[in-house]
Structure 1
Amino acid sequence: MATFRLKYLSLGVLVFQTTSLVLIMRYSRTLQADGPRYLASSAVVVAEVMKLIICLLLVFKEHSYSVRALNSVLRQEIAYKPVETLKLAIPSGIYTLQNNLLYVALSNLDAATYQVTYQLKILTTALFSVSMLGRRLGVYQWLSLLILMAGVALVQWPSESSLVPEKEAVMSSSSQFVGVTAVLVACCSSGFAGVYFEKILKESKQSVWIRNIQLGMFGLVFGLAGMLSFEGDKVMESGMFQGYSTVTWTVVTLQRFLLRSRPRHCGNIPLWL
């Protein structure tokens, strides 16, 4: 009974955390402030730094808070195994792209449309699981995926409104197209990266936290490269933390803890798969 309650309590917390993250992210991207709006690429970089710190602390704890043991583990599992470490560059780059795309999506879509459309990651993860891991899905599972696709299609169905001026309607359609495209690319990248990472974990004996440290290292590099490439002028002019507020820090923290609230090797594969 205690396990049953804990399972549903964890599910409730996850649902609340996911929903609140989407709402706060959307609010942070549409908030009218006096200064410049915070850079999404900067938020991704800060989140990667937080991930690295959290994972290092967890490995530090696993080794009885010994600095020498931590240093030894990092050298043996990362520095002395460059091939194993480089394998994480692919999913790390994809996750970095995905995180940036989510900010683009929420800047152009309302929270409800984004939340429903982003559930297509369940479909992409299922398809990649079948093709890359050899999983088999039952009839009810395929039926569930078809219902999910139908629900997403209905959400995107255009609605007629005579009260919206033609110019605003065109701008709204363009903005929605950008947002939906960003979500769809994020869904595909999320599905592939999650399954690819699970495949790597099954083929090695390294701990999840070491693997997350490797992901964070590459993610930080890719994030900094993207930020300097696309928004380097803004960073040089007003700094990396321009536009940061309490809301921004809340978004970054929630996003990081949500992504680490379950083992990464589970990817985005739902429990029924």
Structure 2
Amino acid sequence: MTAQSGTVSPTAKLAVLVLMSFMTTIYLILIRWTRITSSEKYITTTAVAMQESLKFMFAFAILIWESKGISSALHTIKLEAYDQPMSTLKMAVPSVVYALQNNMNFIALSNLDVPVQQVLYQLKIPAAAFCSVLLMGKSLSYQQWSACFMVFAGVYFEKIVKKDETSIWVCNLQMYMWTTSASIIAVLTKDLSAVNEYGFFYAYSPAVWVLLVIGSVNGLIVSLVLKYADNIVKGFAAAISIVLSTIASHFLFQYDVGLGLLVGCTIICGAICLYCLPLPCLDSKFVTVATKMTGSQYDQLTSVTFADEDDEINSADSTK
């Protein structure tokens, strides 16, 4: 993965998929575990607010480290955020949706098994593909469209971090400022009476704190993926976790794995392979170029792994 080129190598893409899959699985399993194993239930809106606050603190700490000092970090924030209020305002759009989504995840996993929640959650992948084309002008191959047969917030945030020259960590600070604010508003409007009665940190066990830290770190990883890869890769990384969460749920929660879920997992794995491991024979651009080449030129082209479709076409043209 390179910041300069904004592309990811196949090895880096695989590493991202594996890392995000495991992180997402652990995060969701912990939410489910903490919601059903304790008789005392923590207040979910406070958990989301605390998680977003931790994200803000982690992003600020990384910016300080990257800037080699707190003074330089504050100067960067002033130049790229405070002096550019419209840039900060734009972040309110995905931030509010993310805050709502995070609250809904806690509610869903309080009532649904993890695999069921994950399968339903992946309905956002086709929407992500559509929004990527609509908002960012991306061109997806026929193969990638077939793989996509999560949502506006993710694509919009991807557009901002890729089109803007602002530091990714400043972007994160802008976003987490809004998500923390929105989450606190949710606490005040939905659970203020419960907070007054039991306290903000009611039923916060060590497992809950581990959950919040993992959720915060996972959020930072997601932002890096959106900066240097794309939102659909993020979506498919989450899709892999369906398989992992199903296995974990079977052993931890005695979840009964039915034939329908197994078929669904198989389809998802096929979609992941179609999107992340491009097959030249399914790409119309590749076929158009390859049909104009000699046998030796075709063999040479198929032996090379390309970073993206544009590299594929340019390399093919150069062999003419």
Q: Same fold (TM over 0.5)?
A: yes
Q: Give the conservation status (yes or no) of the 8 Å contact 1:46–1:252.
A: yes
Q: For residue 19 of structure 1, report the CA deviation from its aligned partner.
A: 1.6
Q: For residue 8 of structure 1, report the CA deviation from its aligned partner.
A: 4.2
Q: For residue 142 of structure 1, report the CA deviation from its aligned partner.
A: 2.3
> Could you tell me which of 4, 7, 29 is aligned with 1:23?
29
Pick 1 or 2: higher relative contact order, CA cutoff 8 A, min separation 6: 1
The 5 A counterparts of 1:84-233 are 84-146=87-149, 190-233=150-193
Matched, 1:59 2:22: no
- Structure 2 unmatched runs, 5+: 1-8, 235-274, 277-320
Residue 11 to residue 200, structure 1, CA distance change in 2 (3 Å): closer
SS in 1 for 2:106: helix
CA distance in 2, matches of 1:98, 1:267: 19
Residue 138 to residue 210, structure 1, CA distance change in 2 (3 Å): same
Residue 197 to residue 119, structure 1, CA distance change in 2 (3 Å): same
Bigger Cα displacement from structure 2, 240-249 vs 259-268: 259-268
Q: For residue 5 of structure 1, report the CA deviation from its aligned partner.
A: 6.4
Q: Give the conservation status (yes or no) of the 8 Å contact 1:121–1:268.
A: no
CA distance in 2, matches of 1:69, 1:14: 31
> Could you tell me which of 17, 28, 50 is aligned with 2:54?
50
SS in 2 for 1:242: coil
Q: Give the conservation status (yes or no) of the 8 Å contact 1:194–1:267.
A: no
CA distance in 1, matches of 2:99, 2:139: 29
Percent of residue pairs identical: 32
- Structure 1 unmatched runs, 5+: 147-189
Q: For residue 46 of structure 1, report the CA deviation from its aligned partner.
A: 0.8
Q: For residue 267 of structure 1, report the CA deviation from its aligned partner.
A: 5.5
Q: For residue 115 of structure 1, report the CA deviation from its aligned partner.
A: 1.6
CA distance in 2, matches of 1:253, 1:240: 17
Q: Which protein has the larger Cα radius of gyration, Structure 1 or Structure 2?
A: 2
CA distance in 2, matches of 1:267, 1:136: 13
Match of residue 216 from structure 2 = 256
CA distance in 2, matches of 1:117, 1:135: 25
Output the amino acid matched with 2:178: F
SS in 1 for 2:232: coil
Q: Give the conservation status (yes or no) of the 8 Å contact 2:59–2:220.
A: no
Q: TM-score by structure 2 length?
A: 0.65
Runs of 4+ in 1 over 6 A off after TM superposition: 3-6
> Could you tell me which of 244, 248, 269 is aligned with 2:204?
244
Output the amino acid matched with 1:123: P
| Count of matched residue pairs | 225
